């Protein structure tokens, strides 16, 4: 892979509606769009999914840019690679900073797939031609949640996830179940509970949830294993799983029955695939998580979710779930509850250059 330049673009776009969790609101999304070009003039794209502030993980847009410009790009300049699967070992000399690593690693995968005239899903070993779509409702009132769920079901989504916390759980979910008794429903707590809330969490077994996502601390493994023994609802881990080793421990110690794989959180597609392969072997279902992302990351998620172990609808939604206009063309579009896996080379979506220019805040090009 003879890289000639890497372009970093910082963009910013308002969400159509505020995205509310107990940790705060996301109203405006900043992100990093990376373009890596090779000596044949082929370009691959990646997206940095860290937020402006470190509310979900410790990374931010600024820490990602620091890692990229001062460490990750120089490592690539000094150590040419011939396959994207070599990037994660190269980057392992740098501790954590998984979203920064994934931003560049995913661009390398797109570039590799494109230069081999292959859809990225095939390069990764994907088998599905369409992905079942799920959507997240992140609001602070049952009335708004009911209206949004109604709308999303009309749009064809196959599964709904709602955000919960100790101030918005039992009665909130009762209200949803009253109107949607059979809806495939799950709840994401983003670490809003402690083990001392055991009775509160146990009570949620009443709602036939597909799973409860990350109820306890963001960095916990141990306490989730106690909790899983006490509740019927399967636990799904999100924040706690930042690597293959984390997934191994979580499954081995019975901390969860499902894993949410996010490419950014685990440092790239190679690590995401390793986690997938292990879970598939162990019979642990996985699904692809979302990061309120722009189209480039959405496209990478679609390629990843075409792997056979992604047996549960993930947080893979249409571009228009969050954006008035996305930065890719065509946009991601849910049809009959499914997102089609592209068959053209690489991620299979083109950058919408006009839209990128409109939302561009800052740009730097590093020439190799």
Q: Where on the chain is the footprint of Mg ion (CB under 5 A)?
A: 188, 213, 238
Q: Given 144, 262, 273, 354, which residue is catalytic?
A: 262
Sheet of 159-163: strand order equals 134-137, 159-163, 185-188, 212-213, 235-237, 258-261, 286-288
Binding partner at 290 among ligand OSB, Mg ion, none, C-beta below 5 to 8 Å by kind:
ligand OSB
202 is annotated as an active-site residue? no
- Taking a C-beta distance cutoff of 8 angstroms, is the pair 134, 160 a contact? yes
CB of 323 to ligand OSB, least distance (A): 11
Q: Considering beta carbons, is residue 55 or 71 the nearer one to ligand OSB?
A: 55
CB of 24 to ligand OSB, least distance (A): 11
Binding partner at 56 among Mg ion, ligand OSB, none, C-beta below 5 to 8 Å by kind:
ligand OSB
Q: Considering beta carbons, is residue 169 or 213 the nearer one to Mg ion?
A: 213
Binding partner at 345 among Mg ion, ligand OSB, none, C-beta below 5 to 8 Å by kind:
none
- Taking a C-beta distance cutoff of 8 angstroms, is the pair 242, 214 a contact? no
CB of 94 to ligand OSB, least distance (A): 23
Taking the alpha carbons of 122, 126, 128, 131 in that order, is the dihedral positive or negative? negative
CB of 239 to Mg ion, least distance (A): 7
Q: Given 163, 167, 249, 257, which residue is catalytic?
A: 163
Rounded Cα distance between 9 and 153, Å, is 35
Burial annotation 166-203 (CB, 10 A radius, 16+ → b, else e): eebbeebbeebbeeeeebbbbbbbbbbbebebeeebee
CB of 265 to ligand OSB, least distance (A): 9
Please return the burial class of 283, using the count of CB atoms within 10 Å of its CB with bins 0-12, 13-18 and 19+: exposed
Rounded Cα distance between 178 and 290, Å, is 27
Rounded Cα distance between 288 and 360, Å, is 27
* Residues at the site binding ligand OSB, with contacts judged by CB under 6 A: 56, 136, 188, 190, 238, 289-292, 315, 317
- Tokens at 74, concatenated: 């120089």
Q: Considering beta carbons, is residue 1 or 237 the nearer one to Mg ion?
A: 237
Binding partner at 168 among ligand OSB, Mg ion, none, C-beta below 5 to 8 Å by kind:
none
Binding partner at 326 among ligand OSB, Mg ion, none, C-beta below 5 to 8 Å by kind:
none
114 is annotated as an active-site residue? no
Q: Considering beta carbons, is residue 108 or 164 the nearer one to Mg ion?
A: 164
- Taking a C-beta distance cutoff of 8 angstroms, is the pair 177, 149 a contact? no
Catalytic residues: 163, 262
């Amino acid at each position: 892979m003879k890289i000639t330049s890497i372009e970093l673009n910082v963009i910013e776009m308002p969400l159509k509606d505020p995205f509310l969790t107990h940790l705060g609101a996301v109203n405006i999304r900043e992100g990093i769009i990376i373009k890596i070009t090779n000596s044949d003039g082929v370009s691959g794209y990646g997206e940095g999914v860290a937020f402006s502030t470190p509310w979900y993980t410790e990374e931010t847009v600024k820490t990602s840019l620091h890692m990229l410009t001062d460490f990750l790009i120089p490592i690539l300049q000094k150590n040419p690679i011939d396959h994207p699967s070599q990037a994660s070992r190269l980057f392992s000399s740098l501790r954590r900073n998984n979203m920064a690593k994934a931003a560049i690693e995913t661009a390398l995968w797109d570039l590799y797939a494109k230069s081999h005239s292959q859809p990225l899903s095939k390069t990764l070993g994907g088998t599905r031609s369409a992905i079942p779509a799920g959507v997240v409702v992140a609001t602070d009132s049952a009335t708004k949640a009911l209206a949004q769920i109604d709308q999303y079901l009309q749009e064809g989504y196959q599964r709904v996830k709602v955000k919960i916390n100790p101030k918005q759980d039992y009665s909130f979910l009762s209200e949803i179940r009253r109107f949607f008794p059979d809806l495939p429903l799950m709840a994401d707590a983003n670490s809003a509970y402690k083990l001392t809330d055991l009775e509160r969490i146990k009570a949620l077994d009443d709602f036939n949830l597909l799973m409860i996502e990350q109820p306890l601390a963001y960095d916990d493994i141990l306490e989730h294993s106690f909790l899983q023994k006490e509740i019927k609802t399967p636990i799904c881990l999100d924040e706690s799983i930042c690597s293959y080793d984390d997934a191994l421990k979580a499954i081995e110690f019975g901390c969860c029955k499902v894993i949410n794989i996010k490419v950014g959180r685990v440092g790239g597609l190679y690590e995401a695939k390793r986690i997938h392969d292990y879970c598939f072997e162990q019979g642990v279902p996985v699904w692809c998580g979302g990061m309120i992302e722009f189209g480039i990351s959405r496209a990478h998620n679609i390629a990843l979710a075409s792997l056979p172990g992604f047996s549960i609808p993930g947080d893979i939604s249409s571009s228009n779930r969050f954006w008035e206009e996305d930065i890719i063309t065509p946009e991601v579009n849910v049809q009959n509850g499914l997102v089609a896996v592209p068959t053209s080379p690489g991620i299979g979506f083109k950058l919408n250059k006009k839209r990128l220019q409109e939302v561009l805040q800052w740009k730097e090009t590093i020439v190799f």
